[in-house]
Structure formats: structure tokens, C-alpha cells
Amino acid sequence: MSRIRLLPEILASQVAAGEVIERPASVVKELVENSIDAGARKIEVSVRRGGISLMRVVDDGCGMDRDDALLSLERHATSKIRTAADLAAIATLGFRGEALPSIASVSRFRLTTRELEAVAGTEIIVSGGRIETVRDGGEAPGTQIEVRSIFYNLPARRKFLRSENTESRNIEHQLHLQATGHPEIAFVFVRDERVVLQLPAAASLLDRIRDLHGKDLVDRLLNVEELKNNPAKIRIRGLIGQAGVSRQTRTQQLVFVNGRAIESPMLTAALREGYHTALMKGQFPVTFLFLDLDPAAVDVNVHPAKREVRFRDPNSVREAVVDAIRRTLESGRRDWQQQFQRPVAPTFPIPPEHFTPPPIEQRQFTEPAITRVIPSRADGEESHKLPETWPAEEAINVASSSQQFQIIGILNKLYVLMENQDGLVLVDQHAAHERILFEELRRRMEEQGVPSQRLLLAQTFELAPRDAEWVERNAATLQKMGIGIEPFGQNAFKIDSLPTFLDVSDPVTFMRKVIDGLKSASNGSSALRLGEDMIAKTVCRHAVKANDPLRYLEVEKLITDLLQCDLPYCCPHGRPTMIQISHAELEKKFGRKV
């Protein structure tokens, strides 16, 4: 007796639905993507009870005639691809022809649609995959789809739904993705009869992000430097958080490939590598990154929900992303440097022990300021008098020049206080020093190699065959990192020198750790990153201790050196080095402005 049977159509759709429709947010995703593919200018999404009781998507796109509307509910029916060649270069969000039949098979479903020119539209009602009604409908041009009681006929699935709140939040996140991917489309989101998002069509990505997340975030984003002539022939654009801007979750780490929001461990790793020392441990960057590449160079037909993609040349994509992020972060430095070009000597008393006036020729800045220093206590009586020119007046002059800054003093032996045009700047002298040392060592590592120091006693140790092979292959990189290691018989090595700045008590254990760490990085550029990690972990010990008192000139040098760094705003562990508190924020705090 034969045991193999063809599944009935409805059951087959429910099986497919298992992959495409995981939760209410997946329904919203598929429906909104259809609306986008249909050329909608405005999309309205309403949900009730986290989408569990109702989801409705209304668009003003091209609509369908009656035949197409009926066909759209068949499995594998799509207007978006026709041939295998089309599949190889997909330009639309949909192409599988699975979403509508899947959704309709696991819910109570109503579709009304009308083409722009048509006199009448069509209304189709489906329940659990069975078409119940087909009739003329009179809605506005476009398409409206209502999905009620999702999974009502699949109790096992229904049990997996989370709380209404969680499902709601998933839907909202999905809308954020779509709205970010398509700023030119207006979006409205209504949750339980309340409008929670109302986004007008935006002229630019920046405007859309401002509407979604507010001005404060936008002010801390950098425009991605466009990449030209890269081997992957990939265009990278968008906005990313400045160094030091990060989140505890990945919800604002958005990457779009040819307009499609995707999740990709490879790209996540590339973002991390691009940010590298600009990101605190366990934190995620903020990115609104768009990769546009030849549709033939990326396969979107990997995942039923189309969340993942496969690149033909993942390595060049990865490198292009790392490069774009790094250059963008470094470009942010120019703005800061603009603001901090010229230090102005202070116009108020600095404790004499902190202040050794520099020889004039060393100071291209100021003149008058020094002469206005309030006479110090050593000058006797005068110390009680107020100076003729009160610092504030000078400060106003400072503030009016956009390029100047002035060191005001040091708080708690740790924070350098400065004033610039925008207000108050606080610099963590320890973090700043770490950044300076880090970049200095990294430069040396890249140029002539890190200086190394001979061990008193060379040590030998054995490695597993694969590790041994790895060490032999990467001897040059290790040398650059200041590690002197050479073969010493079968799978054995001798280590006789380590970087001078390292303070290692057990060279062999240290070496095993380094090898483990480096091994997991697959190529040259990542090995460099790992060298950076090693430096970052060790410079901390050499950096100015938090409580080291610095003299005025030392502070000034620290600030100038910091501003020369590639990434001056954060220490090599991603913590901020400086914080700006604007005049506006101060005014707010003092209740001068609301």
C-alpha cells in the first residue's frame, strides 16, 4: 500500500505559514512589504491586542483587479518574478508568492482592493484558508487587508504567542524598520485605537530618523562617508552613531541590503570591527546603514521570512563595511577639531603650583590673557581685590570664536574643565591619556612594530599541531606585535621576547591566550584588530592615574594630543573621553529656559 500522499492545498499553506508567519509582527512585515512593492505613498497599520485580535494594513498602492486578487491567494502566485533569471536578481521585497495564502490559511482574512481607474473594487473573505465570499467592494483605490484571530485554527501555534505587549512591541519595531528603509513613504501606526506613530513622507533619511527618534539622537549621528571604487562594487550610505553612542540592545542597529532590513552575523561582526575601540564591551552601535549592490551579487532566497541574505563575495562586503564605519567615525573628528583649534590661556588664577608660564615662543595662542591673571597670593594685599577685568568678559570673547577653547581648571583631580563656544566641556584625563597611548602604540605596531624586550629566561612550550601550524603561518604578525617566538622542534616553540609595555608574569600562559584569541580571527585585518585589543588591555596601566595632579601645560598638551587622535572621543575601551554640556542644557538646568 502506498503511504505517500500529496497534502491538501490548505494544509500545505499552513505548513508554509509555519515558516513565514512566526508571529503577528511577521504578518505586518509581509503586508507592509507588499504595500511597498505596490508603490504605496502612504501605509496605515492598525492593530488590536498586540495584533492577536486584529491587524489591518491599508495602502494607496496599485491595487488588483478581481482575477489577480483571487490569484494572489494561491500558493506560489506572484507578479514579481517570472523566470529563474528573475530569481537571480530580485529587485522587489516579495517574490515567493507565499505570504498571502499563508496568512489567509491561519486567520480570518479579508482583502479589499481596487485599481486606480476601476469603477469597482473586489472584496474577498477567507477563513482558515477557505474562500467564503467574493464580491464587489467600494473602498478607495489601493489595498486593504484585515487579519483577525491569528492562529485561531492552530492552537499549538497560538500558545507560542507572547504577551500582547511584547507582540505589540515587535510590530512597532517592524514598522520602525520599514519606515527607516522607506523615508519617502508616509506611515501611520494605530495601536488599540491610539495613534502611536504618524510619519509624514520625509525628504531624507535624516528627517525620517528625526521623526522616529528625536533631534537628540540625530545630533549624535554621522553621515556615512560614501565609499567609491571598492572591489565589492557596493554603495554604502546612511547614518551611524558617533564614537561613544551605543545601546544595550541591538534594536537600533539597523542594516539594509538593497532596501531590505536584514540580520546577518557577518555584518554584525563587521560593524563591531568597524567601531572596535569606539564601543564599550557588551554595547551595540547605533546604525542606519544601507548597502546597495548589484542584486545578482546577493541571494535573498535563503530564509522563508527573507531576513537573511547570502553574499556572493562576503569578504569584500565585510571589508567595505568595516572601512566605511571606520572612516566615518574618524571623519567625526574634524568637527571637534574645528571647535578646539586654539587653546586660550586662562584668565583667572591657577594655583601657582599648577602653573608654570610657558616661554612666549611656545605659545602661538594668547597674549593678553596671561597679563590678566589675578595676582596670586604672593602679591600680598592685592590678592583680595577683584581683577579689573573679570574673567567672564574674556570668556565671552572666547566663546564668540568658534575655534577656541579655554581650560578652566581641574575637578576632583580627574576631570579637566574647559569652555568652548558651545558651553562646558569635561575631559576625563585618564581616559584621554589612554586613547593617546593606545594610538601611539598602534601606530608603532603598524609601522615598525612594537618595541620588545628580551625575557630574562627564554621559555619553550608545546602546542597542538593545528595551533603550531597557525603560529608558523602568522610569525610575521606576531613579530609586529613585539612577540619573539620561533620554532623549537616538532610542535614546540621558544619565546624569548615580549612587548615592552606588557607586564606579564607567565609568558607561556600569556602566549596560549594570545594564540587562542588570534586564531579565531580569520584574516590579516582582524589580526591587526587583535593586536589592538592587546594594546588596549595593557595601556590602561600606563595611562595617567585618575588622581595624578597635572600641571597646566601638561593638561594643555594632553588636550592637544587627544585632538590629534583618530578617535578622540573615547578611550580604547569605548568609554567617552569628553562630554560637552551645551549652554542650552545649562540654561535648562537653571530654569532659564524650558
Closest contact distance (angstroms) between CB of 108 and ligand ADP is 17
Figure out which of the listed residues 13, 26, 72, 180 binds ligand ADP, where binding follows CB under 6 A: 72
> Which of ligand ADP, Mg ion, none does residue 59 bind (CB under 5 to 8 Å by kind)?
ligand ADP
Which of 97, 238 has the CB closer to ligand ADP?
97
Contact call for residues 35 and 57 (beta carbons, < 8 A): yes
Closest contact distance (angstroms) between CB of 81 and ligand ADP is 8
100 binds ligand ADP (CB under 6 A): yes
Closest contact distance (angstroms) between CB of 64 and ligand ADP is 5
Q: Looking at 32-40, 194-202, 253-261, 499-507, which segment touches ligand ADP (CB under 6 A)?
A: 32-40
98 binds ligand ADP (CB under 6 A): yes
Which of 19, 516 has the CB closer to ligand ADP?
19
34 binds Mg ion (CB under 5 A): yes
Q: How many helices and strands, by DSSP H and E, does the chain display?
A: 20, 25
Percent helix, strand, coil in the chain, to 5, is: 40, 25, 35
94 binds Mg ion (CB under 5 A): yes
- Residues contacting residue 248 through CB under 8 Å, at least 6 positions apart: 282, 283, 284
Contact call for residues 438 and 277 (beta carbons, < 8 A): yes
Cα 305 versus chain centre, distance: 23
> Which of Mg ion, ligand ADP, none does residue 480 bind (CB under 5 to 8 Å by kind)?
none
CA distances to 9, 140, 260, 278, 578 from 213, in Å:
44, 32, 20, 22, 24
Q: Kindly determine how many residues on this chain lie close enough to bind ligand ADP according to the rule CB under 6 A.
A: 22
35 binds ligand ADP (CB under 6 A): yes
Closest contact distance (angstroms) between CB of 34 and ligand ADP is 3
| Helix/strand/coil for 345 | coil
Q: Looking at 56-64, 161-169, 417-425, 467-475, which segment touches ligand ADP (CB under 6 A)?
A: 56-64
Dmax over CA atoms of the chain, in Å, equals: 115
The residue assigned the cell 501611520 is 188
Figure out which of the listed residues 27, 55, 81, 99 binds Mg ion, where binding follows CB under 5 A: 99
Q: Looking at 89-97, 304-312, 334-342, 456-464, which segment touches Mg ion (CB under 5 A)?
A: 89-97
Contact call for residues 143 and 38 (beta carbons, < 8 A): yes
Q: Looking at 1-9, 88-96, 361-369, 500-508, which segment touches Mg ion (CB under 5 A)?
A: 88-96
Angle, CA 50 vertex, CA 265 and CA 93 arms, to 5°: 45
Which of 99, 321 has the CB closer to Mg ion?
99
- Which of 81, 347, 90, 44 lies closest to 199 in space, CA to CA? 44
DSSP string, 172-231: HHHHHHHHHH-TTSEEEEEETTEEEEEE---SSHHHHHHHHH-HHHHHTEEEPPP--S-T
Closest contact distance (angstroms) between CB of 38 and ligand ADP is 3
> Which of ligand ADP, Mg ion, none does residue 98 bind (CB under 5 to 8 Å by kind)?
ligand ADP
**Which residues, 133 to 152, sit near ligand ADP by CB under 6 A?**
143
Closest contact distance (angstroms) between CB of 124 and ligand ADP is 12
The residue assigned the cell 617566538 is 485
Contact call for residues 113 and 142 (beta carbons, < 8 A): yes
Which of 38, 47 has the CB closer to ligand ADP?
38
Interface residues toward ligand ADP, by CB under 6 A? 30, 34-35, 38, 59, 61-64, 72, 77-80, 94-100, 143
Q: Which residues bind Mg ion (CB under 5 A)?
A: 34, 94, 99
